[in-house]
Amino acid sequence: MECFSRVIKRLDKSRKIDMKIGIFGGTFDPPHWGHLLLAEFVRDEMGLDRVLLVPALLPPHKEDRIITDAQLRLEMVKILCGNDPYIRPSDADLVHGRKPSYTIDLLEDFFKKFPDNEFFLIVGGDSVVEFTTWHRWEEILSRCVVVALPRPGRDFSSADRKVLDAVKILKSPLIEISSTEIRRRVREGKSIRFMTTEEVAKFIAKKKLYSANK
Whether 10 is covered by a domain: the verdict is: yes
CATH code for the domain in which residue 116 is found: 3.40.50.620
Is pLDDT of 81 > 90? Answer: yes
Whether 214 is covered by a domain: the verdict is: no
Which domain range does residue 180 map to? 4-207
Whether 52 is covered by a domain: the verdict is: yes
Nearest to 190 by CA among 168, 171, 172, 212: 212
Percent above pLDDT 90 for the chain: 76
Whether 19 is covered by a domain: the verdict is: yes
Full-model pTM: 0.89
For residue 214, what pLDDT is reported?
58
| DSSP states of 154-183 | ---TTS-HHHHHH-EE--PPP----HHHHH
Count how many domains the chain has: 1
Residue 71 CA from chain centroid, whole number: 17
Q: What are the pLDDT digits (tens) for 149-171?
A: 998 778 888 999 999 999 999 99
